[in-house]
């Protein structure tokens, strides 16, 4: 594993810019509108209003780098009906973009567990935390990963709750 520090920092900056748009249960979820600027200098504000997990943010930035201007207008509440939105829900591409050798290696970061179903309860509890605690924990877990190569959600959440 050769972590991509620049890309990890870009996800950190996106979460810092709009913590309300950071939730861990789904890659993309219709919950809040984001005021983060895209690569074109425009606000990332989708018609459906979205929040994204770490893999979702990584995929959004990766897709923008490839020249795709995201617009998640599904005409409904489920962004997975949109072909472009399905690009967000690609853990393998997000994992490689962040410098992991594959998606299995990144699962503790993306799912708070090696098994996406095992971590579902933790992600539900995490998403119920206040916006500022969620965003700080996401930032802390990514900074710890960047600085040590290790993923430690419990320590990141505890640090966020104490700050």
Kindly give the confidence (pLDDT) of every residue in the chain, 163 residues in length, as a single tens digit, with 9 standing for 90 and above.
899 999 999 999 999 987 777 888 876 655 444 445 555 555 444 433 456 889 888 988 888 887 766 554 444 444 444 555 555 567 888 999 999 998 889 999 998 887 666 777 788 889 899 999 999 999 999 999 999 999 999 999 999 999 9
Q: Go through the chain and tell me how many residues it has.
A: 163
Could you tell me the residue range of the domain that residue 52 belongs to? 5-162
User: Smallest Cα–Cα separation from 119: which of 26, 29, 56?
Assistant: 26
As a whole number of angstroms, the distance between CA 45 and CA 52 comes to 13
- The confidence score (pLDDT) of residue 29 equals 59
Report the number of distinct structural domains present in the chain. 1
The DSSP line for 99-149 is T-SSHHHHHHHHHSSSSTTTTHHHHHHHHTS-HHHHHHHHHHHHHHHHHHS
Provide the pairing of β-strand 28-29 with 51-52.
Answer: antiparallel
């Amino acid at each position: 594993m050769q972590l991509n520090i620049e890309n990890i920092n870009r996800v950190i900056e996106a979460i810092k810019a709009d913590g309300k748009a950071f939730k861990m249960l789904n890659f993309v979820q219709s919950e809040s509108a984001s005021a983060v600027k895209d690569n074109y200098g425009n606000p990332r504000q989708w018609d459906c209003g979205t929040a994204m997990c770490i893999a979702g943010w990584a995929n959004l930035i990766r897709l923008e780098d490839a020249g795709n201007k995201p617009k998640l207008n599904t005409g409904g509440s489920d962004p997975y009906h949109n072909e472009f939105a399905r690009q967000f829900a690609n853990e393998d591409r997000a994992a490689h973009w962040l410098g992991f050798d594959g998606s299995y290696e990144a699962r503790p970061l993306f799912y708070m567990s090696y098994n996406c179903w095992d971590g579902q309860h933790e992600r539900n509890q995490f998403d119920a935390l206040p916006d500022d605690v969620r965003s700080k924990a996401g930032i802390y877990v990514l900074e710890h990963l960047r600085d040590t190569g290790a993923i430690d959600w419990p320590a990141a959440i505890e640090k966020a709750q104490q700050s």
